[in-house]
Chains A and B, each alone.
Chain A
Amino acid sequence: QVTLRESGPALVKPTQTLTLTCTFSGFSLSTTGMCVSWIRQPPGKALEWLALIDWDDDRYYSTSLKTRLTISKDTSKNQVVLTMANMDPVDTATYYCARIRSSGWYPGKYYFDYWGQGTLVTVSS
């Protein structure tokens, strides 16, 4: 059974760095084709893809946010961590982690088959 769960602070101040952890089970991020991604959704707005890390430790970032984002993994702990620097009130959103399972590096076929429940992060002083 595949599960993912996001954890992190519910409230951060402007200019602070946000650190979110995705703890997963039911699969291994060292298996070829496995990836974990972060996606966010501001209240009442659309989904926005943020970052992806794959089984080979390759990392991909949103073009508009890449200077602020860092994604990393700890395979032994089944965790993926996302940091976002210089938080702003516009970054207030529910942050989700989600799994991608593929047979290899086929980005054009990637979809998110399992999602965490999400964690709401509010940026306010």
Chain B
Amino acid sequence: QSVLTQPPSVSGAPGQRVTISCTGSSSNIGAGYDVHWYQQFPGTAPKLLIYGNTNRPSGVPDRFSGSKSGTSASLAITGLQAEDEADYYCQSYDISLRVWVFGGGTKLTVL
């Protein structure tokens, strides 16, 4: 059971917009700690997609955006492309556990 809760799967057609939620609590996201997002293709290491809630590393398309409010965060992908089909993970810090925590991951399927 992950400290951060994500939907197991989301799907969308090419060109559409999808969002992936990441729900935490008052000891992590709600405590003001940053949320970061990673993209992982099968058989490969995760790649940083969004850091500090809303920031994109160099090279990440602006189709990817992050937001945070209260005890939750979201990753939005606009103009969905087949190449976006991957697993997505959110990550934050938990002050009660004093550890870094990941969400359970969301598998994005492009229809």
Q: Once the chains are docked, how many angstroms separate the CA of A52 from the CA of B99?
A: 9
Q: Is the C-beta of B52 less than 8 angstroms from some C-beta in chain A?
A: yes
Interface-located stretch among B16-24, B30-38, B71-79 = B30-38
Total A-B pairs, Cβ < 8 A: 66
B91 A63 Cβ-Cβ under 8 A: no
| Cross-chain contact B99 with A63 (CB below 8 angstroms) | yes
Q: Which of A49, A63, A111, A118 has the most CB of B within 10 A?
A: A111
B102 touches A48 (CB 8 A): yes
**Interfacial chain B residues near A27, Cβ < 8 Å:** none
Q: Which of A9-17, A18-26, A77-85, A102-110 contacts B (4 or more CB under 8 A)?
A: A102-110
CB-based nearest A residue for B104: A46
Report the minimum CB–CB distance from A122 to chain B (whole Å).
16
Identify the closest chain A residue to B28 (Cβ): A108
Q: Tell me whether B103 and A46 are in contact (CB under 8 A).
A: yes
Given contacts A46-B105, A49-B102, A62-B99, contact A108 B46 (CB under 8 A): no
Asked if B100 contacts A47 (CB within 8 A), the reply is: no
A48 to B91, CA, bound (A): 10
CB pair A115–B100 under 8 Å, yes or no, is no
B102-A115 in contact (CB<8A):
no
Q: Which of A60, A111, A115 contacts B99 (CB 8 A)?
A: A60
A111 touches B48 (CB 8 A): yes
**Residues from chain A with Cβ under 8 Å of B47 in the complex:** 115
Shortest CB distance A82–B (Å): 15
A109-125 vs B, CB cutoff 8 Å, 1 = contact: the mask equals 11111011110000000
User: In chain B, what residue has the closest Cβ to A115?
Assistant: B45
Q: Which residue of B lies closest to A6 (CB)?
A: B45
The answer for the CA separation of A48 and B47 in the assembled complex, in Å, is 15
A positions within 8 Å CB-CB of B: 37, 39, 46-49, 52, 60-63, 96, 107-113, 115-118
26 contacts between A and B (CB under 8 A): A37-B100, A46-B103, A46-B104, A47-B46, A47-B91, A48-B102, A49-B99, A49-B100, A49-B101, A62-B99, A63-B97, A63-B98, A107-B98, A107-B100, A108-B92, A108-B95, A109-B34, A110-B100, A111-B34, A111-B48, A112-B36, A112-B38, A112-B48, A113-B51, A117-B45, A118-B45
